[in-house]
Copies of this chain bind each other. A is one copy, B any other.
Amino acid sequence: LLIALDAMGGDHAPREVIAGALLARSELKLDVALVGDKSVIEAELARQEAPASSFEIIHASENIGMDEHPAQAVRAKRDASINVAMGLVKRGVAGAFCSAGNTGAIMASALMNLGRIQGIERPALGTVAPFSERGILVLDVGANADVKPNYLVQFAQMGSAYAERAMGIPNPRVALLNIGGEETKGSELIQEVYGRLGKAGVNFVGNIEGGDVHRGKADVIVTDGFTGNVAIKVTEGVADFIFRELRTALTSKPHYKLAALVLRPALLKMRDRMDPGTYGGVPLLGVNGVVMIAHGNSDARAIRNALRTTHEAAVSGMLDTIRTTAAHKS
């Protein structure tokens, strides 16, 4: 299975992206095509002392920056690396797409090139919450700021399919993010969704509150893209804040430093478990293809892990499961 990797996407592209592709090839034996400016890619491969023949290189003459307006850029730059890589998936040349580039542009390009799965009204961006042992999928985390009850029911079905197939969680527990445990809590929209999730063909376990997101009470957490985005960014912000404070506290007195040194391995291990780069990529669900988005500031290891996740998702059959589920409902 060939993965079309956007070599130009991300804060540290192409350097870290290409380094990550090299790791994925040497350590995981993954089959990757690099998509982007051919001369830039070749120069970077040379700089990293990898033979130019390491990967198939697919030339793309344009590039979409991290701050460009997604929909406009995708339409204006038809030969952007994101569009070219997505085209490889569309034509069946590649079995999956992966990029650390502009998230909005990836979503727009996926919709334009691959289209929605029949029966899915809106694609959703999933993410795997940091901290969790076997992974907790939260969706939507930003594709849809405004939602309708239908969308959330479909997010639950897509999330369940992804968790079961791609993440290997049998009969995943699906919960609705809410501000209380009871059926009568939350906005009118959420209360309507609550009533429908029991009949949506998923293992619905009820509401989950913000404080329990990271406690492993559910495998799939369904929410609108506004709340989900805030929840995930707050999580990252709080973790960053605490680790920064910890560093300050541990260097505030000379006699702390030795103790901190002793604890370093334990702290690093903990930090690692909370790093989004450990999981690597997050899926865009509901489009006709496997589309994985890596964090913008991915380093080589994060890209390697995103490519692993992309490969797992592509071979898992999750796309067929979503198609089957969605077709039954439409």
Residues in chain A within 8 A of chain B (CB atoms): 131, 142, 145-146, 177, 179, 185-188, 190, 209-215, 223, 225-227, 229-242, 245-246, 249-250, 252-253, 255-256, 258-260, 262-263, 266-267, 269-270, 273-274
Contacts and interface: CB of A to CB of B under 8 A. Distances in A.
Contacts of A225: 179
Contacts of A274: 242
A266 B179 CA distance: 34
B249 A238 contact: no
SS class, residues of chain A in contact with chain B: helix
Counting every copy of the chain, the complex holds 2
Nearest to A234: B210
A270 B241 contact: no
25 contacts: A145-B185, A145-B190, A146-B188, A177-B230, A186-B226, A190-B226, A210-B237, A211-B240, A213-B237, A214-B238, A215-B241, A230-B231, A231-B234, A238-B238, A238-B239, A238-B242, A242-B242, A245-B273, A249-B266, A249-B269, A252-B266, A256-B266, A258-B259, A258-B262, A259-B262
B145 A186 contact: yes
A184 to B, nearest CB: 9
Contacts of A240: 211
